[in-house]
Amino acid sequence: MLKVPIFFDLGGTIVDNIEIGKKSMNEIFNKNLSLQEAKLMYIEMSQKITLKTLFHMQINPIKMIVKRKEMSKLQNQYLLSQGRLFEGAKEFLFKLKSRENIQLFIVTQNPQFKDNEFTKLLFTKLFAGEHPFDNIFSGRNKANMIEENFDRETLSQSIYVGDLPNDMKTAKKLQIPGIGVSWGYADGKLDTPNIVNNFDELFDFIENHLNNLS
C-alpha cells in the first residue's frame, strides 16, 4: 500500500519559535524590532534577497548575510531552552500518525537539523518522548530535497503544510496542494486558497484529501 507523504515546515507551523526569532534578531543586530517587524524580516530571510526587498529591510542586508550563522546559532540555543509546540500540535500529529496510510515528514531550512544529537534533544523536549515523524529533511532548497527522496507517483499524492511564502512556492514547484496556516510568520497571507486557522481544520483538510485519493 502506498503511504501518502505529508510534509510540514517546522518553525511557525509546528513549533512556535516566533518570539524566539524576534529575540535573536534584536540581540544579534542590536535592534528593537516589534513582533510584526521581526516576522517580516524572517520571511525575507527565508527567501532569496532581491532588489525589491533590499529597499525596505529593517536590517542592513550585508550585515544580515554576515551574521546569519551567528543568529541561527543563538536561535537554536533558545529553541532548545525555550522552544514549544503550538497548542494542539502534538495531539494533531499523533492523531494523523494513527492512520496507517500516511507518513509524516519535517522539511526545514535550519541546517542544525543535520545534527542528529541536536534533533534528538529538541524533539524529545518538544514531545516529551517519541516524536511522530518518519524523517526530517534539512537544507536550503526544500523542493529539491523532497524531489531527491520521492518519486513522482508518490509526490502526486502528497500535501505540503507551511506558514511562509517560500513554503507555498515549494508546493507549487512540486505541483502538490499547499496548505497555509494562519498562526505562523505570514499570518495566513499566502498564495494558496487553502488556509487553515487551527489544527482541527488542518486535520479535516488532510482527511478530505486522503478520502479523495481512495
Q: pLDDT-derived band of residue 211, with 50, 70 and 90 as boundaries? A: very high
Q: pLDDT-derived band of residue 1, with 50, 70 and 90 as boundaries? A: low
Query: Model confidence over 161-196: pLDDT tens digits?
Result: 999 999 999 999 999 999 999 999 999 999 999 999
Give the residue extent of every domain in the chain.
4-16+85-213, 18-82
Inter-residue long-range contacts of 41-45, CB under 8 Å, 24+ positions, other chains counted: 42/12, 42/18, 42/185, 43/164, 43/165, 43/166, 43/185, 43/186
Quote the pLDDT of residue 22.
92
Q: Are 164 and 183 in contact, with CB atoms under 8 Å apart?
A: no
Query: Model confidence over 23-56: pLDDT tens digits?
Result: 998 998 888 989 998 888 778 777 665 555 545 5
The CATH superfamily of 4-16+85-213 is HAD superfamily/HAD-like (3.40.50.1000)
Q: pLDDT-derived band of residue 160, with 50, 70 and 90 as boundaries? A: very high
**The model scores a pTM over 0.85:** yes
- The dihedral through the CA atoms of 202, 206, 148, 168 has a sign that is negative
